[in-house]
Amino acid sequence: MEYPFSEIERKWQANWRNSRVFNAQDVCAKPKYYVLSMFPYPSGILHIGHASNYSIGDAVTRLKLMEGYNVMQPMGYDSFGMPAENYAILHNSHPRLTTEENIAAMRIQFDGMGFGLDWEREVSTCRPEYYHWGQYIFKKMYEQGIVYRKKSYQNWCDECQTVLANEQVEDGHCWRCGTDVLQKELEQWYFRITDYAEELLDFSGVIDWPEKVMTMQKNWIGKSTGTRIEFPMQDGTESIAVFTTRPDTIYGVTFMAVPPEHPLVQKWLTDDPSNTELHDFCQRVINEDKILRTAEDKPKEGIFSGHNCINPLNGDMVQIWVTNYVLMDYGTGAVMAVPAHDQRDYDFAQKYNIPLKLVIQNPEQNLSLDTMQAAYTEAGIMTNSAQFDGRDSVESKTAISEWIEANNWGKRTHTYRIRDWGISRQRYWGNPIPIIHCPDCGVVLVPDEDLPVLLPDNVQVGKTTSNPLLSVPEWLNVPCPQCGKAARRETDTMDTFVDSSWYFARYADPKNEKLPFSPENAEYWLPVDQYIGGVEHAVMHLLYARFIHKFMRDLGWVKSDEPFARLLTQGMVLKDGAKMSKSKGNVVDPQYIIDRFGADTLRVFLLFASPPEKDVEWNDDAVMGAFRFLNRIWRLIETNIDAIRQGLEYTAEPSELSPEFRELLYSSHITVKKWLEDSLHRMQYNTAIAVTMEHLNKCTSIKDTTQLSNAELAVYAEACGIIPQLLYPFAPHIAEELWEMIGCTEMLHECGLPGYDEKYLQKDSITYVIQVNGKVRGKMDVAADATEDTLRSTALSIDNVIKALEGLTVRKVIIIPQKMISIAASK
RNA sequence: GCGAAAGUGGCGGAAUUGGCAGACGCGCUGGACUUAGGAUCCAGUAGGUUACACCUGUAGGGGUUCGAGUCCCCUCUUUCGCACCA
């Protein structure tokens, strides 16, 4: 017999909706708790990964409700972007229609899982009432100087027909479709995330984030500390700046390496068009694919520029080489090459017969230029370095930098690997950038009263060679808001990561028609107390959102420094050890599981299989196990309902109970204690469910409840009665139904957390384990208040212990209170 | 190459501060019952063994300790991140 899960699930989903259980109040005497799972792209189908992620968030939500918080768990859709555009093309429809259809379909599936979501706060990034405020934020950023436009080489995905930000290129491939990324020169819009680089390195504003994510962000930002030094040109015209983290090697500079894009190189080419050799080399390198060019195994190439500069510290003349191994957009775009102490410079110098100069001596093993096979990159003793000779190279970094600063040759500084965020996308289905280009006034912001710039519907979607919005003249051509002359709209749309960088704040005030959100609501709800999502967003979404949040804080819109106080990066659901995907044919449809076993079974399976941050291996048999577990609970309570109802009228004291019922009473209280620890404090839902199963086994071991005494009934009723509470965060439908069956009239979230009483956890006798030299040799039950002397003598009188001690002398007896006695003995 | 995390039965996983390794579930073995079920109940399930006892065992090797899955050192494997960043 299966319990009627289908009926129960429908019933409670309707009850929660009608009672507005999950509609959070903006004004409330209770403390707030904001639970947020990363919103999905509306594919139309809730897949098992969604079911898994949102089951975690829902467990947090229901636990916090039980704990007495005013909980908000909103949901929305990240509905702009390439997938929607492609999906519409595939179905010969329009993304607006397909997206709204998909959203409606997903909503039904979310409800079918029984998630406690506040649907009155739903946002969808492709709707004008949302993207209006993205445009507004763009304008504010523009006014604050955080937005600028620049022409340069961009990461271009030919498949997606758009540029990509640096964060969105993985190993030279598009993060979305895997196509090789090309370089294309384009003019596009940037957000100055680098202005916040230093602050983004600081995570002191978060309460609990995985170390891994913080490390990934820190590495991405890539701060390095060093010295910027000006090398004057030999002809005295200007100078060339380098950034180095190794000022201690500056006396070892034997050449200067610059990329062909370097402004000085470009100037030389213009000044001397006859230098075809240099010209050809530069052209060839510039046109080469950036990813290939920067690959580590790429052979180093270069050409002498014909120009020299001067090492300001020792007056040495230094040849400037144009090379393929220096990056224009890192540091100053020029490198002081020290081939004796840098492997890259060494490789280059070997190839072009450039001399080496040894300036750091290995204290362990004397180095000689004649025998060196590789650069010596370690620390050591300085040599050939004027007044710094004989000093430790690490310590001398400061001294040399100070010397450089004192002589005005340069100064200490930092450099970051992170670049500004390129947010232009040459696609249709995104938020229009609220800019008008006027031939006279230049770049003009669309006035607030004209926002939002609506995305036109009548666009030719499909693969176009140019930006799709160019094909809509009635949208494109507008009068300039300043001078009224004919002007054109910006046709780039924003990266969808812009839309998702502030949605968590919009949930605080989702219907605001005057502002993105009111500062009062934002102050109440932010930061998000528990954020849940995939680790794949560690350096994309999570970094962008922190950046935009800090910008909004600087505007005074939000008060907190960080948007997400706690972050949980949940694992994936795997099948046969691999991520589920259509191409592998290993997809499990959650709807099938819901239809056959119910949403509660699916949720229990997903949460029980492993801790939330780890991957879950799909297992059909284990799903059955979860189903059997819920059926056993159902049967327990249904068949003993009279005893339970009756028992709730009575109370019991341990002294009047048989050992069996004393054990059951203990189980009720220890289970609640462990469950609270596991679920509320550790977020280890797998073990919280395990202790519930263990307790269930205790309850079902009592077979006949018709002959129980009043005291026994009381214990039994309590034992069975806590089970719905323990189940509620994970299997809420069956929990509510059983709770009602027992006779409780309030819904479970109103009843508080289950409680336990320490007095029932006190045992009058304790089982001690006795070890001899680290091996278990016996056990004994001793009164809880036994003295150390009693413990020692009792332990030493056990037959097995005596046997183990034969021929040995006891050296030491260690007593671990409540647990064990360890005897150290030797001959 | 650099950095991080991890490695526990046939499987997923427990063991929160060093204190009975393998909780709980799956699978498997045997039994009971039967309205023969994707059922339920009972017993067993790390390996070895002369089986109420003992020996071995948490990737491998060494160490600290009365006591190590847990702490320290070395090695191996896997996963993830970064990878000419000066």
3-state secondary structure labels for all residues of A148-166:
EEEEEEEEEECCCCEEECH
Q: Which pLDDT score, from 0 to 100, does residue A529 have?
A: 97
Contact partners, residue A813, CB within 8 Å, separation at least 6? A792, A795, A796, A821, A822, A823, A824
In this complex, the residue with its CA at the shortest distance from the C1' of nucleotide B1 is A296
Q: Is A701 exposed, middle or buried (0-12, 13-18, 19+ CB in 10 A)?
A: exposed
Which DSSP string corresponds to A607-637?
HHHS-TTS-EE--HHHHHHHHHHHHHHHHHH
Separation of CA A822 and C1' B71 in angstroms?
20
Q: Between A773 and A625, whose confidence is greater?
A: A625
**Mean of all residue pLDDT scores within chain A:** 92
Separation of CA A566 and C1' B30 in angstroms?
50
- Give per-residue pLDDT as tens, A294-329: 777 788 999 999 999 999 999 999 999 999 999 988
In this complex, the residue with its CA at the shortest distance from the C1' of nucleotide B82 is A219
- Give per-residue pLDDT as tens, A153-184: 788 888 888 888 877 887 777 887 888 887 78
Find, among A699, A694, A685, A696, the residue nearest to A729 by Cα. Answer: A685
* pLDDT tier at A464, thresholds 50, 70, 90: low
CB A95 within 8 A of CB A73: no
A172: left (phi over 0), alpha (psi -120 to 50) or beta: left
Separation of CA A619 and C1' B11 in angstroms?
10
Asked whether residue A377, judged by its CB, lies under 7 Å from any atom of the DNA or RNA strand B, the reply is no
Q: Which pLDDT score, from 0 to 100, does residue A725 have?
A: 97
Separation of CA A730 and C1' B64 in angstroms?
44
Q: Which pLDDT score, from 0 to 100, does residue A216 have?
A: 92
Please state, in angstroms and rounded to a whole number, the distance separating the CA atoms of residues A33 and A37: 13
- Give per-residue pLDDT as tens, A627-686: 999 999 999 999 999 999 999 999 988 888 998 999 999 999 999 999 999 999 999 999
A230: left (phi over 0), alpha (psi -120 to 50) or beta: beta
* pLDDT tier at A290, thresholds 50, 70, 90: confident
Task: Give φ, ψ of A558 to 5 degrees.
Answer: -130, 155
Sign (positive or negative) of CA dihedral A779, A785, A788, A793: negative
Give the count of alpha carbons within 13 A of A461, CB side only: 23
- Give per-residue pLDDT as tens, A427-445: 899 999 999 999 999 999 9
What is the CATH architecture of A765-826? Roll (3.10)
pLDDT over 70 for what percent of chain A?
A: 99
**Rg, Å, chain A Cα set:** 35
* pLDDT tier at A463, thresholds 50, 70, 90: low
* pLDDT tier at A579, thresholds 50, 70, 90: confident
Task: Give φ, ψ of A533 to 5 degrees.
Answer: -175, 180
Find, among A113, A122, A124, the residue nearest to A16 by Cα. Answer: A113
Separation of CA A501 and C1' B81 in angstroms?
23
Tokens encoding A492 = 């780039």
In this complex, the residue with its CA at the shortest distance from the C1' of nucleotide B54 is A777
**Which of residues 736 to 775 on A have a Cβ less than 7 angstroms from any strand B atom?**
767, 769, 771, 773-775
Model ipTM value: 0.95
Tokens encoding A596 = 């056959």
Find, among A48, A36, A53, A49, the residue nearest to A612 by Cα. Answer: A53
Positions of chain B reached by protein Cβ under 7 A? 3-5, 11-16, 19-21, 23-27, 38-42, 53-56, 66-68, 80-86
Tokens encoding A200 = 């983004």
Task: Give φ, ψ of A135 to 5 degrees.
Answer: -65, -40
- Give per-residue pLDDT as tens, A537-561: 999 999 999 999 999 999 999 999 9
Separation of CA A578 and C1' B77 in angstroms?
19
Residue A715 identity (one-letter amino acid): V
Residue range A5-125+500-534+570-579 in CATH 1.10.630.10: no
List the alpha helices (DSSP H) in A613-759.
620-639, 641-647, 659-675, 685-700, 710-721, 723-727, 732-742
**Which of residues 286 to 315 on A have a Cβ less than 7 angstroms from any strand B atom?**
293-296, 298-300
Asked whether residue A808, judged by its CB, lies under 7 Å from any atom of the DNA or RNA strand B, the reply is no
Residue A738 identity (one-letter amino acid): L
Please state, in angstroms and rounded to a whole number, the distance separating the CA atoms of residues A132 and A517: 12
- For residue A527, say if its preceding peptide bond is cis, omega within 30 degrees of 0: yes
Q: Please calculate the CA angle A365-A370-A375 and round it to the nearest 5 degrees.
A: 65
A272: left (phi over 0), alpha (psi -120 to 50) or beta: beta
Q: Which pLDDT score, from 0 to 100, does residue A819 have?
A: 85
End-to-end CA distance of chain A: 65
Please state, in angstroms and rounded to a whole number, the distance separating the CA atoms of residues A603 and A642: 29
| A711-724: b (≥16 Cβ within 10 Å) or e | bbbbbbbbbbbbbb
Instruction: Please give the nucleotide, over all strands, whose C1' is closest to the CA of residue A773.
Output: B66
Which DSSP string corresponds to A183-213?
EEEEEEEEE-GGGGHHHHT--TT-SB--HHH
Q: Using the predicted structure, report yes or no on whether residue A465 has a pLDDT greater than 80.
A: no
Asked whether residue A486, judged by its CB, lies under 7 Å from any atom of the DNA or RNA strand B, the reply is no
Q: Which pLDDT score, from 0 to 100, does residue A514 have?
A: 96
Separation of CA A754 and C1' B20 in angstroms?
30
| A363-379: b (≥16 Cβ within 10 Å) or e | eeeebeeeeeeebbeeb
Residue A131 DSSP symbol: H
Please state, in angstroms and rounded to a whole number, the distance separating the CA atoms of residues A17 and A8: 14
| A224-414 CATH fold | Isoleucyl-tRNA Synthetase; domain 2 (3.90.740)
Asked whether residue A621, judged by its CB, lies under 7 Å from any atom of the DNA or RNA strand B, the reply is yes
- Give per-residue pLDDT as tens, A488-531: 999 999 999 999 999 999 999 999 999 999 999 999 999 999 99
Residue in this structure with the two tokens 């196509």, named with its chain if needed: A179
Q: Which pLDDT score, from 0 to 100, does residue A392 have?
A: 92
Asked whether residue A822, judged by its CB, lies under 7 Å from any atom of the DNA or RNA strand B, the reply is yes
- Give per-residue pLDDT as tens, A321-374: 999 999 988 999 999 999 999 999 999 999 999 999 999 998 888 888 888 888
CB A630 within 8 A of CB A734: yes
Tokens encoding A182 = 């090309």
Q: Which pLDDT score, from 0 to 100, does residue A578 have?
A: 81
Please state, in angstroms and rounded to a whole number, the distance separating the CA atoms of residues A691 and A678: 9
Separation of CA A207 and C1' B15 in angstroms?
27
CB A72 within 8 A of CB A118: yes
From 1.10.730.10, 3.40.50.300, 3.40.718.10, 3.30.70.380, which CATH number describes the A620-760 domain?
Answer: 1.10.730.10
Q: Is A631 exposed, middle or buried (0-12, 13-18, 19+ CB in 10 A)?
A: middle
Q: What is the mean pLDDT of residues A796-803?
A: 85
- The helix/strand count (H/E) of chain A reads as 28, 35
Please state, in angstroms and rounded to a whole number, the distance separating the CA atoms of residues A416 and A419: 8
List the alpha helices (DSSP H) in A316-435.
343-352, 393-406
Asked whether residue A607, judged by its CB, lies under 7 Å from any atom of the DNA or RNA strand B, the reply is no
- Give per-residue pLDDT as tens, A594-627: 999 999 999 999 999 999 999 999 999 999 999 9
Asked whether residue A182, judged by its CB, lies under 7 Å from any atom of the DNA or RNA strand B, the reply is no
Domain boundaries of chain A, sorted by first residue: 5-125+500-534+570-579, 137-192+420-496, 224-414, 620-760, 765-826
List the alpha helices (DSSP H) in A477-619.
496-499, 503-506, 519-525, 541-554, 590-597, 599-609
Tokens encoding A370 = 């004649």
Residue in this structure with the two tokens 């090459």, named with its chain if needed: A337
Strands A70-72 and A32-37: parallel
Please state, in angstroms and rounded to a whole number, the distance separating the CA atoms of residues A191 and A422: 7
Contact partners, residue A825, CB within 8 Å, separation at least 6? A772, A773, A805, A808, A809, A810, A811
